[in-house]
């Protein structure tokens, strides 16, 4: 990849930011010698099991409900290959490249604990996919928490399937050959290691944390703009009042709002024009703050999973003194619940934004020209943009229903409680995309409202945000094609680097 940054898995604690850097920013991923030593130790345990003939699930037995079928040494490589082929049965459109890269990163993070038993050549092949820009085409649907997505990654290591490579979709074998890479030869347990665990939901959730963290900062900025455009009563954000509810996220949001609105003549001149504002205006610290606290909790859960060993079975000890432990670490309940919780929180960010932007276009409450256009009637102004936001909020309400409660039974009653964590993470991504578009619409509308108030000075941060948007989108003088304006605003919200002064 062209980006010179390198992320090294050292064997210490990993951050979700490390996954985002490799998946989204093209950072190179490397493993420290300690990690390679751990991987080799676990593989040596697998070889000892194969030599001894001791029964160990997934090493020399069938999988799932076939766990009591013993296999001989010559069948073990075939089992690994067949595992990938039979499990690569996902459906639906392919996931974006960055999401697949995040999933591969999370899988490598799992192997780095040295509890899996996967051969180092397979891990090296996964690293090569990342570092050579070869991204398997992986169908988005079909996972109850694990299995299918990583199976589609795994078959590409065999030279089977299609990949994204240099801007085109090509055969995996063609991309490997172009980069001087050979298909991987699998050994005992390699196939199970590739499809097992929670890397799919965890990798996706790490990217969701990246998005949610950025969007919550933007929500404060854009919410402050709407507050100012609607001439809100700043007393609601008084630090002494905010401090009386000691939720950490509420304190952060309160600080951000006061900084963004500092020195605003609009706010100063509006003091006392009403007793109190509507709740969508005066409760920004309470609602945004609650979402921040849920993000912090979700991040704690997801990062713990990222730093955990989540295969079954797990291999403990050394080749001379080992244990093979069948257990349930591949169950992704923690990530599933965290993703569901974060989806609810971000749906609420979109919901309160829609209520604010509705007030901006409504002349009955805004004190501004109807639908934020100078000549309403012949011009519809930004009337229908609010419809779009309402539609997205309605969809978010549907997506915020918990996936983790949708339990099903698989593998002949062997796997009879499933997390549905991948579904939870995927719908979280859709909630975040919808929330991005809702905030982009509010940004456009709040900036347009500023056009009618610019005879007074705006807040330090809100003025900067208004001017930033105006570099991309001109003021709305009369009706024009509005969809490109929304797209440009959304692009600003998706920028990986902060474009405004850092907030808490």
Give just the sign of the alpha carbon dihedral 148, 150, 155, 161.
positive
CB 347 within 8 A of CB 431: yes
161 vs 458: CA distance, rounded Å: 56
CA atoms within 13 Å, Cβ hemisphere of 15: 7
- Name the phi and psi angles at 325, rounded to 5: -115, 115
Distances (CA, A) of 65 to 49, 74, 393, 416: 21, 22, 42, 11
391 vs 358: CA distance, rounded Å: 13
Q: Read out DSSP for 414-454?
A: TB-----HHHHHHHHHHHHHHHHHHHHHHHHHHHHHHTTTT
Give counts: helices (H), strands (E), the chain: 20, 9
Q: What is the CA radius of gyration of the chain?
A: 26
Give just the sign of the alpha carbon dihedral 432, 434, 437, 439.
negative
**Is residue 476 flagged as an active site residue?**
no
Parallel, antiparallel, or unpaired for β 28-31 and 134-136?
unpaired
Q: Could you say which of 57, 146, 165, 443 is catalytic?
A: 57
Residues 6+ apart with CB under 8 A from 329: 197, 308, 309, 310, 311, 312, 314
Catalytic residues: 57
């Amino acid at each position: 990849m062209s980006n010179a940054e390198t992320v090294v898995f050292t064997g210490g604690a990993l951050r979700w930011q490390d996954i985002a850097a490799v998946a989204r920013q093209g950072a190179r991923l490397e493993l420290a010698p300690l990690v390679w030593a751990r991987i080799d130790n676990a593989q040596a345990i697998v070889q000892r099991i194969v030599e001894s003939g001791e029964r160990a699930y997934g090493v020399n037995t069938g999988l799932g409900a076939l766990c009591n079928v013993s296999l001989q040494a010559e069948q073990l490589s075939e089992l690994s290959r067949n595992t990938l082929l039979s499990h690569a049965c996902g459906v639906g459109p392919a996931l974006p490249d960055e999401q697949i890269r995040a999933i591969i990163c999370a899988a490598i993070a799992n192997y780095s604990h040295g509890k899996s038993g996967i051969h180092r050549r397979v891990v090296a092949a996964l690293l090569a996919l990342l570092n050579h820009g070869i991204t398997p085409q992986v169908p988005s649907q079909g996972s109850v928490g694990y299995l299918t997505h990583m199976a589609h990654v795994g078959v590409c290591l065999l030279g089977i399937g299609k990949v994204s490579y240099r801007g085109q979709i090509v055969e995996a074998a063609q991309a490997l050959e172009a980069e001087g890479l050979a298909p991987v030869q699998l050994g005992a347990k390699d196939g199970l290691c590739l499809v097992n665990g929670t890397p799919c939901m965890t990798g996706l959730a790490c990217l969701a944390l990246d998005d949610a963290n950025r969007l919550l900062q933007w929500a404060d900025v854009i919410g402050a703009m709407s507050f100012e455009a609607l001439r809100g009563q700043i007393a609601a954000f008084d630090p002494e009042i905010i401090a009386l509810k000691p939720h950490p996220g509420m304190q952060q949001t309160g600080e951000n709002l006061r900084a963004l609105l500092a020195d605003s003549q609009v706010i100063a001149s509006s003091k006392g024009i009403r007793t109190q504002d509507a709740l969508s205006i005066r409760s920004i610290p309470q609602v945004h703050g609650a979402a921040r606290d849920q993000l912090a909790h979700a991040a704690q859960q997801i990062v713990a999973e990222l730093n955990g060993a989540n295969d079954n079975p797990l291999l403990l000890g050394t080749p001379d003194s080992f244990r093979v432990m069948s257990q349930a670490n591949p169950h992704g309940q923690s990530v599933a619940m965290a993703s569901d919780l974060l989806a609810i929180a971000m749906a609420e960010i979109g919901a309160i934004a829609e209520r604010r932007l509705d007030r901006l276009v409504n002349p009955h409450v805004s004190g501004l020209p109807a639908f934020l256009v100078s000549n309403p009637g012949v011009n519809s102004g930004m009337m229908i943009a609010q419809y779009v936001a309402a539609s997205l909020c309605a969809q978010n309400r549907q997506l915020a229903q918990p996936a983790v409660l949708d339990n099903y039974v698989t593998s002949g009653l062997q796997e009879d409680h499933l997390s549905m964590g991948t579904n939870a993470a995927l719908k979280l991504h859709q909630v975040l995309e919808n929330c991005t578009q809702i905030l982009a619409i509010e940004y456009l509308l709040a900036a347009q409202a500023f056009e009618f108030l610019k005879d007074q000075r705006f807040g330090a941060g809100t003025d900067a945000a208004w001017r930033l948007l105006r570099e991309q989108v001109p003021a709305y003088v009369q009706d024009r094609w509005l969809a490109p304006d929304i797209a440009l605003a959304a692009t600003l919200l998706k920028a990986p680097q902060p474009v405004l002064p850092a907030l808490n």
